[in-house]
Structure 1
Amino acid sequence: MLARTSSSRPFSVIASIFCLFGVCGSASAQSIENGKPVASPFEQWDTNSDGFLSRDEFPKRFPAGLFKRIDQDRDGRLSRTEDDRFRESRRSENNGHRNRGGSINDRVRLPKGATVDQDLVYETIHGRDLPLDLYRPQAENPTALIIWIHGGGWKSGSKAGGGPGVFQLLQRGYAVASVEYRLSGEAVFPAAIEDCKAAVSFLRLNAGKYNLDPGRFGVWGSSAGGHLVSLLGTTNDVDQFDTHPVTRKSSSSVQAVCNWFGPSDFLRMNDFPSRINHDAADSPESRFIGAAIQKNPQKVQRANPAKYASAGDPPFLHLHGDKDQLVPFNQSEILHAALQASGVDTTLYKVVGGDHGFGGSKDSREELIEKSIRFFDSKLQSDSP
């Protein structure tokens, strides 16, 4: 245990690092300041909202060895669980094991009266359960539902945390579902979209049980999750991805789509400079498809949301940074144009200066979350103007 001495400079430096990393508070759970939710450090650093911190997302101001120290499973990324364990161990050292309240397993601080049903199994594939978490506000009447689909390049990510706006959505009377889907290391396209379709159908089938309005389902996702929610929206009238049994019992359609910087046309992602070569055989897109994308254009076309744009699609809101170096801004432009050409209600908001995850943008993350929720208000809430 570190010695308790106010004159120890090494101790003060280490303590400062721990405070920056969230040991002096909760780094994973949202906090409340002046009655408003404030994004936690973990959420602020997790720029692609996939529930993990990559080395690129980890703040450069921390010592070089700290990332490796926290990364207990040595997978090259930090999970919320690893973050929690690190902070709790540091708290124990620095505070003599005094209990400061709160569980290290907490993921989201809920508004008063809200509840969460964790790990609801929406489908089982070859003995593998597919779960979702359902957050519900205190409400007498059936509520609108926002379904969050996480990002992570289709190869990583987690349903933990419920998405960037879960606290605000619950405060506004929405239910929120956060979905786990099969990643590309487990099953390639179309597995992920088939899973997402099944989750929507499960929630609609059980709407009465969970006090949900089956006619007011919105979807929201970032990066790879933005791609999947866009595909959900443009395939309302397409049944080729309704392969799980539950989709034959209840509709997988959605009524509003919020796409945060998701790909829409894989074969055009290299049109602009990027941090990765999207055409490479080991790119996230190629791994998602199961083969090099340029050598499999027909399969890639099936995965492109823009291909399915049609007049019956629900309203869309796209938020995308014009300096995105991972998913080029043109990806939202392509889908927005395809929807416009089909007469669909679609809005593209350029996040000026924003890189992937909106880092460097003039808009704050809180402002972008609010813009997204107001979109859902306008499309899903019956008392909206």
Structure 2
Amino acid sequence: MRPLSLFAVALLALTVSLTADENNKTTAALQELLRRFPDADANRDGILTQDEVRLYRDQLRRKQPPAAAKSTAPTFANVKYGTHERQVLDLYQAASDKPTPLVIYIHGGGFVGGSKAVPAERVQRFLNAGISLAAIHYRFVDGQDVVFPMPQHDGARAVQFLRTKAADWNLDSSRIACFGGSAGAGISMWIAFHDDLADPDADDPVLRQSTRITAVGTFGGQSTYDPVQIKKLIGGRAWEHPSLLKVYGLKSTEEALNPTAELQKLYDEASAFTHLTADDPPLYMVYSEADGPLPANAKPGQGIHHPNFGRHLQQRMNDLSIRNVFVYAPADRSRDVDQEMLEFFQQAFANVTVR
């Protein structure tokens, strides 16, 4: 990749960031970026989001020559945590004489794309703090054989698997956090809020482990995957995102908006919000997409990372007295949200009492 291309992406990403509170300018900047760099549209839905811009920029950085970008290789790469080819993970092990806390990164991509590759700067930030970092792949939905909540269960199984490796990899199994963007944010919250999936009687020793975690962080996360609720909460055509049909194996938007009792149960099971209870872990959430009502000519899926997802969730968490931080990034560009999230995790780890 030529350096000029990376510069162009960085410049356009900056333009988007600087105008994130102005719908028209933001949309124009994203459309221009999509025209020039169609590969940036990770989930191929024809709508480019700021999360996809950041992901594509990071991918280009990783493609630079070694002299232009520091490389941090996983300590353990492509370790299988299940039988499916996508059930693999990487571990970046922090140097320590004592078991280290663990943060698990879950990538985004509309549940149909994305990669567990992590920018070297992010890896190093965690390692420098004495925190080991895992990054996972999970099964992509196809509308038939792989649907919700299979990706969520993959994320939960990864947590369980990593607990079985705690002694071998010098991990503190009582201090685990998850974070991710978009789809990865949704999976992270689902793990955080869902009841423990541990089955003490399971033949598989992995499934005997707890799925409960200490803290969770999100970028552009969807607190619900219920199309009916998304239509009410976000408006426009966010609920028509192509992935929202595929994740449930649905054939039409009419079917999505008129769920049977069985389908409604699936909506509820797949959505993090419906599992929220007072004993759930703290959440640090970041939103950067344009705020306010969606335009009348909004495209299908536009607004799928809207800040209202976070506001809706924050209100419920406040009602339950669960610690949470909501950040609308364009409102204060001086904030280092990556560092804040790391420190949020550190505080949560410090509050853990091992019995």
Normalising by structure 1, we get a TM-score of 0.67
CA deviation string 1:258-303 (max 9, x = no partner): 122211123322235567441x3x6322222222532232211111
CA deviation string 1:169-211 (max 9, x = no partner): 1111110000100111261111101101110001001101011
| 2:327 aligned with 1:350 | yes
Instruction: Flag the 1:275–1:163 CA change in 2: closer, same or farther, 3 A.
Output: farther
Higher RCO (CA < 8 A, seq sep 6+): 2
| 2:321 aligned with 1:339 | no
Deviation at 1:115, TM superposition (A): 5.1
Equivalent positions of 1:96-135 (< 5 A) are 101=66, 109-110=71-72, 116-125=75-84, 128=85, 130-135=87-92
Higher share in helix: 2
Q: In 2, distance between residues paired with 1:217 and 1:287?
A: 31
Contact 2:101 2:176 in 1 (8 A): yes
Deviation at 1:139, TM superposition (A): 1.5
Instruction: Flag the 1:244–1:230 CA change in 2: closer, same or farther, 3 A.
Output: farther
Instruction: Flag the 1:349–1:382 CA change in 2: closer, same or farther, 3 A.
Output: closer
Contact 1:274 1:327 in 2 (8 A): no
Instruction: Flag the 1:70–1:314 CA change in 2: closer, same or farther, 3 A.
Output: closer
| 2:264 aligned with 1:301 | no
Instruction: Flag the 1:137–1:382 CA change in 2: closer, same or farther, 3 A.
Output: farther
- Residue 300 of structure 2 aligns with which residue? none
Contact 2:77 2:90 in 1 (8 A): yes
| 2:2 aligned with 1:18 | yes
- Residue 107 of structure 2 aligns with which residue? 150
Q: In 2, distance between residues paired with 1:133 and 1:116?
A: 8
Task: Name which one, 1 or 2, has greater alpha-carbon Rg.
Answer: 1
Q: In 1, distance between residues paired with 2:319 and 2:220?
A: 20
Contact 1:135 1:175 in 2 (8 A): yes
Deviation at 1:84, TM superposition (A): 7.8
Equivalent positions of 1:182-193 (< 5 A) are 182-185=139-142, 187-193=146-152
Instruction: Flag the 1:60–1:275 CA change in 2: closer, same or farther, 3 A.
Output: farther
2:338 aligned partner, one-letter code: I
Deviation at 1:56, TM superposition (A): 9.1
| 2:346 aligned with 1:362 | no
Deviation at 1:231, TM superposition (A): 0.6
Contact 1:234 1:313 in 2 (8 A): yes
CA deviation string 1:24-82 (max 9, x = no partner): xxx9xxxxxxxxxxxx89998999xxxxxxx99989479x6x646999xx998997998
- Residue 258 of structure 1 aligns with which residue? 217
Deviation at 1:145, TM superposition (A): 0.3
1:269 aligned partner, one-letter code: I
Q: In 2, distance between residues paired with 1:285 and 1:69?
A: 21
Q: In 2, distance between residues paired with 1:287 and 1:350?
A: 30
Correspondent of 2:171 among 212, 215, 218: 212
Classify the secondary structure of the residue corresponding to 1:289.
coil
Q: In 2, distance between residues paired with 1:243 and 1:335?
A: 33
Deviation at 1:116, TM superposition (A): 2.4
What CA RMSD, in Å, does the superposition of the two structures yield over aligned residues? 4.2
2:332 aligned partner, one-letter code: K
Contact 2:94 2:127 in 1 (8 A): yes
- Residue 14 of structure 1 aligns with which residue? none
Q: In 2, distance between residues paired with 1:273 and 1:129?
A: 32
Instruction: Flag the 1:373–1:41 CA change in 2: closer, same or farther, 3 A.
Output: farther
- Residue 4 of structure 1 aligns with which residue? none
Q: In 2, distance between residues paired with 1:179 and 1:244?
A: 24
Correspondent of 1:372 among 318, 341, 355: 341
1:376 aligned partner, one-letter code: F
Q: Select between 253-262 and 242-251 the one with higher mean Cα deviation.
A: 242-251
Classify the secondary structure of the residue corresponding to 1:227.
helix
CA deviation string 1:318-360 (max 9, x = no partner): 222373533222211222233333332x21323154xxxxxxx
Classify the secondary structure of the residue corresponding to 1:232.
helix
Correspondent of 2:131 among 141, 150, 174: 174
Classify the secondary structure of the residue corresponding to 1:349.
strand
Correspondent of 2:94 among 108, 113, 137: 137
Higher share in strand: 1
Contact 2:174 2:214 in 1 (8 A): yes
Q: In 2, distance between residues paired with 1:264 and 1:152?
A: 16
Instruction: Flag the 1:323–1:215 CA change in 2: closer, same or farther, 3 A.
Output: same
Give aligned pairs, total. 310
Instruction: Flag the 1:57–1:151 CA change in 2: closer, same or farther, 3 A.
Output: farther
- The alignment-based identity, stated in percent, is 23
Q: In 2, distance between residues paired with 1:58 and 1:244?
A: 49
Instruction: Flag the 1:154–1:352 CA change in 2: closer, same or farther, 3 A.
Output: same
Q: In 2, distance between residues paired with 1:170 and 1:45?
A: 31
Normalising by structure 2, we get a TM-score of 0.72
Q: In 1, distance between residues paired with 2:180 and 2:148?
A: 18
- Residue 298 of structure 2 aligns with which residue? none
